[in-house]
Amino acid sequence: MVTEQDPIKLMKQQVGKAAADRVKSGMIVGLGTGSTAAYMIQFLGERLQSGQLKDIKGIPTSFQSNVLAKQYGVPLTTLDEIDHMDIAIDGADEVDPQKNLIKGGGAAHTREKIVDCLAEQFIVVVDSSKLVDRLGSTFLLPVEVIPMAITPVIRAIEKLGGQPELRMGVKKAGPVVTDEGNLVIDVKFNSIDNPAELEKSLNNIPGVLENGLFVGVADVILVGELQDGQPIVREIA
Ligand code: 5RP
């Protein structure tokens, strides 16, 4: 019965399926990272297996999405092999009313930004808990940093008014190491008034590879919600 299942999981599954249904045969698809994007990859695989979908190619945004694509039978390619990308589908940690995002909960925001920005259409898949009035209100801002620069970058972020903390591994001693071999600093800002400016200021610090602010990149937000206990999908275009 639907009510016995985790409501967040239900919303993520529903929105992942809705996004996978938007992919058409022949498309090149950016494959996002995280638990919601994982459902999208699974549903893409199911559509391929049933013959409903043909000849798509995926560009993974992380080790995780690479592994999932192989597991569910989604053929992969690389940025070197293609001259365009039709669509990218990815999750987010926060979405504001202007469709600006915080990403990087899975420490994959650098590759995600590369892939998501290249797509002709970038669809974000979230459950309703990710919608916020102002970025930074529920989630710390992830910043990927080249290891030798960690100390000066922490000082520079403090000068910008942030409170940085090094992301530590779970079930792994020591810090999180990204797919690119770097470290992640999660930063608390009391108020992110101008996401576009902060995105640039952070990326201007020598040693910062990329931060998790995605400003003006998302085209469509698909939001998984519960209505009378049933999962539904709302579109913000
Ligand atoms: C990974 C991400 C994810 O897309 C984001 O953390 C959302 O994940 P989930 O769908 O599991 O809530 O940015 O770097």
Give the Cβ contact number of residue 6 at 10 Å: 9
pLDDT score for 1: 46
206-223: string of b/e by CB count within 10 Å (b at 16+)? ebbbbbbbbbebbebbbb
Q: For each of the chain's 237 residues, which pLDDT tens digit applies? A: 445 678 899 999 999 999 999 999 999 999 999 999 999 999 999 999 999 999 999 999 999 999 999 999 999 999 999 999 999 999 999 999 999 999 999 999 999 999 999 999 999 999 999 999 999 999 999 999 999 999 999 999 999 999 999 999 999 999 999 999 999 999 999 989 999 999 999 999 999 999 999 999 999 999 999 998 888 999 999
Q: Is 182 in the pocket of ligand 1 (CB under 6 A)?
A: no
pLDDT score for 2: 44
Q: Which CATH architecture has domain 141-208?
A: 2-Layer Sandwich (3.30)
CA 62 / ligand 1 centre spacing (Å): 11
CA 91 / ligand 1 centre spacing (Å): 5
Class of domain 5-132+216-236: alpha beta
Ligand 1 pocket: which of 12, 39, 103 to mutate (most atoms within 8 A of CB): 103
CA 145 to CA 137: how far, in whole Å?
23
Q: Which residues are the active-site residues?
A: 112
Q: Is 33 in the pocket of ligand 1 (CB under 6 A)?
A: yes
Residue extents of the structural domains in the chain: 5-132+216-236, 141-208
Q: Which of 88, 93, 103, 90 is nearest to 184 (CA)?
A: 103
pLDDT score for 4: 64
